[in-house]
Structure 1
Amino acid sequence: MQTQLKNSQSSLNKESALKSMIRNNMRQYSMVIALIFIMVLFQILTNGLLLQPLNITNLILQNSYILVLAIGMVLVIITGHIDLSVGSIAAFVGAISAILMVNYEIPTFLAVIISLLVGAIIGAWQGFWVAYVKIPAFIVTLAGMLLFRGLTMIVLEGKSIAPFPESFQKISSGFIPDVSSSGSLHLLTIIIGLALSVIIIFTELKNRRTKLKFNFEVQSVGMFVLKLIGMVALLNVFTYILATYEGIPNILIILAVLIVIYTFVTNKTKAGRHVYAIGGNEKAAQLSGIKTKRMTFWIFVNMGVLSALSGLLFAARLNAATPKAGNLFELDAIAACFIGGASAYGGIGTVPGAIIGGLVMGIMNNGMSLLGLGIDWQQGIKGLVLLAAVAFDIYNKNKAS
């Protein structure tokens, strides 16, 4: 009898642990699940067009500049601020780069460096007003949105400037060269996929060992192996699809480097912890010795640089600097962050989450376009998705309190 009771209690504990693990994983990976669901849905509705190699490549190229903005925007949102000027800054820097490269024939590398410096100066200008003068970021960046949109019109004189040098165009439209010119598959892309699979497995095993060493809660061996298999399978399917077309786009390498750097900074460095502390409670962070003003200032400098990079990527893909460039970029970037799990109250958000949110928006845009839905329906549906994401965040916050 006693043995039966013990077995029953053990079974209940295992069942409770399993439910807890599923609930935690659902919370952690809910947006990944939503992304996969949206992909499968549009793959069915478009009769397989969505995941065609050409369309996958176009998705990456079309959304690259929004994803770059989302990486910077999520840091701004975590600190409890907002930046409405990123689209106008992107347009202005794109115009500056065109004048430098097309009109004055300055070498591409030097023009890119100057353009990024211009973005940093603009970010410093706005960061000064927000951090040190204490003007709300909404007002400062709204003024910046109007100011730099006007300056873009002035420097371009209402006209487009084109074409850019071929070396600059390849930033957004080029692909990494293959190790071999023979064969229908891009061999280097397959090799990169396998190499990344090894890195992922090694990293996950190392993290698991570290957690076990300090007696942290970890997934069961079965769930851990299943997760690893899923991650590696998705990665290699993705790289195989790219390999059947032109391989890995240059812009994907730039995005991957940015994601790795900013994820490391936010998760593993003192500066990253300070960003979350400021967003959680700025006064408490200041009393604990964090230089909140300086950190806020540098967050906006960083946003300025990434806005400039986004403007360069867009100009390179369009092969022209136009007065209307960057229109509504800020709304897509903000929506990507909130859909990806950032909190409207600050203090919560991740770089991978912002990327997933950006991909959700990008796949929805692409899928609805393939279905022939007009821009009016697309904007309305995107608005509802954004509202639902913020409502979900507020619901979770109220539930927790």
Structure 2
Amino acid sequence: MEKQKQKLSFRFDVRAYTLLIALIVIAVLFSILTDGGFLTSRNLSNLFRQMSVISILAIGMTLVIVAAQIDLSVGSIVGLTGGIAAILQVWHDWGTIPAVLVAILAGAVIGLLQGWLVAYRAVPAFIVTLGGMMVWRGVLLGVSNGETIAPLQEDFVQIGQSYLPYVWGYVLAAVMCIGIFVATFRRRQKRAKLQLPLNSSLIDYGKALAYSIVFMGIAYMMNRYYGIPIPVLIVLLLGLIFLFISTKTGFGRYIYAIGGNPEAAKYSGINIKAHTLSVFVMMGALAGVAGVVLTSRLNAATVGAGQSFELDAIAAVVIGGTSLAGGTGSIVGSIIGALVMVSLDNGMSMMNVQPFWQYIVKGSILVFAVWLDIATKNKS
């Protein structure tokens, strides 16, 4: 019996760390194929900046898919909200803070409209957001007159192009490391108090040490270039906020319950319509944040901004372990999934792989991830 438990535990660990193993394999493979160019500080800094927009979308998309919904309009919302911010900056001379707030609010309002149609008018999310994908792209074309809007004000551009000073990068990494050890200690205390099984302290604190080394290593590599990019800090902040919401609040537990078993959630007294609406509002607001980050990084708003981002976000979430059937998924997994997707893009571009092969590889990985999820569920 004891051997069987150990075997099950080993299988669980392998499943839990599949993404990290895949990420390490990708990094090693592309590093070899690019003669070390993939793992240079400059390329890693660019890679993390590139992943920031998809990561922000993946954070919101995780909650949407966990609730057994879908949002195909986020790419168009990114383009529209970024365009709104640029129009307010360039054509109307608004300050950065008001322009950013209006862009995020516009995303939230769009999410509110789409969420209302899904939750209170029972229109399938696929249809609502597929229509939204075309509608909001059309609105962007209309309000921008089909023009590229640039350049933007310097402080707005700093959102996507600036870096954290070296010292503060190390301070942030140190705080993260301390937080990991504190969280591990508190989790062990809580499990001991509830008389739940505990791993050996060597395993738990060994994991904490490994994560800490990774964070310090990332800080070191980023500081060898210009420092930690500000968009990465935005992803980190949003990731922590939504990780807390999804795992430590009643709202988060209700979302998982709704996606896992809507009938049971309904009879448990959970307001399914209100929670579904809230998820779409959050997704819209996060798309607004992504639109601001993308526009500031490019120092321009274009009519093609955000195209196909919805597919990249969904792919990142699915690769990160979130089930399209709803009920399971994690914010951390989705962010790592985004890093996997962007790493593939970046590595293949460095190797001058033709674009059609890049699409084939990413599409194949997405199909494999969905197949793996279905196969795992059927086996269990």
> Which residue identity lines up with residue 158 of structure 1 in the other structure?
G
Aligned-pair CA distance for 1:16: 4.3
Match for residue 79 of structure 2? 91
> Which residue identity lines up with residue 348 of structure 2 in the other structure?
M
Match for residue 28 of structure 1? 16
Alignment partners' CA distance in 2, 1:299 and 1:243: 36
Match for residue 364 of structure 1? 344
- Aligned equivalent of 2:258, options 263, 266, 278: 278
Alignment partners' CA distance in 2, 1:76 and 1:390: 17
Aligned 1:213-228 pairs, distance under 5 A: 213-228=193-208
Match for residue 112 of structure 2? 124
Aligned 1:342-353 pairs, distance under 5 A: 342-353=322-333
Q: Contact 2:181 / 2:205 at 8 angstroms: preserved in 1?
A: no
Q: Tell me the C-alpha RMSD between the 2 structures.
A: 1.3
Runs of 4+ in 1 over 4 A off after TM superposition: none
Q: Contact 2:53 / 2:294 at 8 angstroms: preserved in 1?
A: yes
Q: Contact 2:58 / 2:338 at 8 angstroms: preserved in 1?
A: yes
Aligned-pair CA distance for 1:284: 1.7
Alignment partner of 1:49 is 2:29: no
Match for residue 8 of structure 1? none
Alignment partners' CA distance in 2, 1:101 and 1:265: 33
Q: Contact 1:21 / 1:219 at 8 angstroms: preserved in 2?
A: no
Match for residue 287 of structure 1? 267
- Aligned equivalent of 1:152, options 133, 140, 143: 140
Alignment partner of 1:399 is 2:370: no
Aligned-pair CA distance for 1:294: 0.5
Aligned 1:242-321 pairs, distance under 5 A: 242-321=222-301
Aligned-pair CA distance for 1:295: 0.5
Q: Contact 1:38 / 1:364 at 8 angstroms: preserved in 2?
A: yes
Alignment partners' CA distance in 1, 2:327 and 2:176: 31
> Which residue identity lines up with residue 386 of structure 1 in the other structure?
L
Tell me the SS of whatever aligns to 1:196. Answer: helix
Q: Contact 2:184 / 2:205 at 8 angstroms: preserved in 1?
A: no
Tell me the SS of whatever aligns to 2:37. Answer: coil
Match for residue 52 of structure 2? 64
- Aligned equivalent of 1:74, options 33, 54, 62: 62
Larger Rg: 1
Q: Deviations over 1:81-113 (max 9, x none)?
A: 110000011111111111111100011101111
Alignment partners' CA distance in 2, 1:281 and 1:359: 30
Tell me the SS of whatever aligns to 1:50. Answer: helix
Alignment partners' CA distance in 1, 2:31 and 2:181: 29
Alignment partners' CA distance in 1, 2:359 and 2:322: 21
> Which residue identity lines up with residue 297 of structure 1 in the other structure?
L
Q: Contact 2:243 / 2:332 at 8 angstroms: preserved in 1?
A: yes
Gaps spanning 5+ residues in structure 2: where? none
Gaps spanning 5+ residues in structure 1: where? 1-11, 179-185
Match for residue 361 of structure 2? 381
Normalised to the residue count of structure 2, the TM-score between the two structures is 0.97
Aligned 1:316-355 pairs, distance under 5 A: 316-355=296-335
> Which residue identity lines up with residue 79 of structure 1 in the other structure?
A
Alignment partners' CA distance in 2, 1:251 and 1:376: 29
> Which residue identity lines up with residue 272 of structure 2 in the other structure?
T
Identical pairs, percent: 42
Normalised to the residue count of structure 1, the TM-score between the two structures is 0.92
Match for residue 212 of structure 1? 192
> Which residue identity lines up with residue 19 of structure 2 in the other structure?
M
